[in-house]
Structure 1
Amino acid sequence: MNISTNQVKPKKALGQHFLTDENIARRIAETLNGYIGTPVLEVGPGMGVLTKYLVEFGHDVTVVEIDTESVDYLKANFSQLNDRILGEDFLKMDLSKAMNGKEFCLIGNYPYNISSQIFFKVLDYKDLIPCCSGMLQKEVAERIAAKPGSKTYGILSVLLQAWYDIEYLFTVNENVFNPPPKVKSGVIRLTRNSTTNLGCDARLMRTIVKTTFGQRRKTIRNSIKGLIPAGCILPDNELLGKRPEQLSVEQFIDLTNLIDRLRADASKQS
């Protein structure tokens, strides 16, 4: 069953591609079926094709939408949401305040142009988000779920997999959107794992991951030179001869501790 998208005009500047296939909307909403009772924040609901099923399945739903035309449509058609339609920019929100400091699940048909930024924000609020699911550009979804050794394995793969178990669920073709995007979409689900402490300096690890993947053709030994004190002699360690896409999350943790020790030793000697 398809829905009409005549009521709100998709805006290119906002990266809007409205889903028109209700069966797919239902399948995406079902990704949170294990979290009935946990509040849900939906990003970019548009005209509520996904919202409708989240409400129908019994979720306590709040939506955040930057498009004022969509906000007006939602207020007119989803009166049951009352004051839980937020006309804000998700990327600028303090999510702990928006959800009253409670744990919540995040879901959405995420705008392609900000999907990576959305998932970096998930990292910032990982202790409040036990589950995050939804649809985004297939290439980005595959990157998030990629394993070490894959060409698509990258910064988001490592940083998110440190804290979440990630499933690539299914692919969505271009013809079920208005307007059709030029790429396929993928639906993924992130479920918070049991990790509470990485066993390393998490901020330093984030810097190392970004630095090494920013120079992914170089070996680790060459790409981390700017992160260690001048004149510091690198030890004979097999991690340093690898490229970043070859390192697992655990190996990045080991690398972070190695660099941390080198910095600490250099500081003692200065």
Structure 2
Amino acid sequence: MMLDDLPPLREVLAEHGLMAKKSFGQHFLLDLNITRKIARLAQVGDGDTVIEVGPGPGGLTRALLETGARVIVVEKDERFRPLLDELAALAPNLTLVLGDALAVDEKALAGGPAHLVSNLPYNVGTPLLIKWLTGPWTPASLTLMFQKEVADRIVARPDSSAYGRLAVIAQATCQAQLVMDVPARAFTPPPKVDSAVVRLTPRADRPAPPRLDALQKLTAAAFGQRRKMLRASLKALGGEELILAAGLDPQVRAEVVDVDGFLRLADAWLARR
């Protein structure tokens, strides 16, 4: 299926009288050059299954369908059902699921390995990412658009202002790379901030569930009081004894501890239990 055979998205939106809903954090990406580039960055094609969250009018969906991949879209806003049904009638490789992505069982949806490719709604981007990084289902890859500030936090390095809990969890579970900047003017309506696409590839040495649970507890405590030394912020979880067991200095702050350091903390905490 070629996008050129379909009416322009602006015409489709006008025909259906649809506008972005602020309460859903919607900003439509209608530029086909950008959506096609995201599809290329996702490295998907024939034989692949892709899950897209928040397709809206289907701008990125069209580009993903062009790759030949099987595309499953999860949309919470029922206003877009007629548009997506029309697209599904032309594309047998498209499946529409109406529902909340935070509550969806991706493993059951995909029925096997699947890639995540989405321009995520701003208001649920981070909770969805945490779900996919720490939940029971592991995607084959994630190519996701976030607000630029959130994207920077995902790929941040230690001892930088953006480095925090999100960076540690993302980088402990995946190889994370910022692959594309997208200016606000590319969206309809334009948001107040720029966006960026992050590509995440699950690590072969992804932490086992108990280790990942420990990592989440420790990073929540450490970065919840990021201006305090570790011996203070982790006092309730083992304090100085725990920190020394992980080979770290109790007087440093969380923002200077790298991902391996937090994984050692998780191992030390599990060993104490």
TM-score computed with the length of structure 1 as normaliser:
0.88
Q: Which amino acid aligns with 2:190?
A: P
Task: Indicate the SS of the match to 1:139.
Answer: helix
**What does residue 195 of structure 2 align with?**
185
Q: Which amino acid aligns with 1:56?
A: E
Pick from 161, 166, 176 the counterpart of residue 166 of structure 1: 176
Q: Which runs of 5+ in 2 are unaligned?
A: none
**What does residue 52 of structure 2 align with?**
42
Structure 1's 253 and 12: CA in aligned 2 closer, same or farther, altered over 3 A? Answer: same
- Distance in 2 (alpha carbons) for counterparts of 1:35 and 1:148: 35
The question of 1:92 aligning with 2:103 is answered: yes
**What does residue 133 of structure 1 align with?**
143
Task: Indicate the SS of the match to 2:59.
Answer: coil
Greater mean alpha carbon deviation, residues 72-81 or residues 36-45: 72-81
How far the C-alpha of 1:156 sits from its partner, in A, is 1.2
Q: Which amino acid aligns with 1:256?
A: A
Pick from 215, 223, 227 the counterpart of residue 213 of structure 1: 223
Q: Is the 8 A contact 2:35 2:59 kept in 1?
A: yes
Pick from 250, 254, 269 the counterpart of residue 244 of structure 1: 254
Greater mean alpha carbon deviation, residues 102-111 or residues 233-242: 233-242
How many residue pairs get aligned? The number is 261
**What does residue 120 of structure 1 align with?**
130
Structure 1's 126 and 169: CA in aligned 2 closer, same or farther, altered over 3 A? Answer: farther
Structure 1's 195 and 126: CA in aligned 2 closer, same or farther, altered over 3 A? Answer: farther
The question of 1:175 aligning with 2:185 is answered: yes
Q: Give the aligned CA root-mean-square deviation in angstroms.
A: 2.5
Percent identity of paired positions between Structure 1 and Structure 2: 34
**1:240-267 per-position Cα deviation (integer Å, ceiling 9, x unaligned):** 2221111111100112233344x44xxx
Q: Is the 8 A contact 1:170 1:186 kept in 2?
A: yes
How far the C-alpha of 1:70 sits from its partner, in A, is 0.9
**1:171-204 per-position Cα deviation (integer Å, ceiling 9, x unaligned):** 1111121111011001110011211446973211
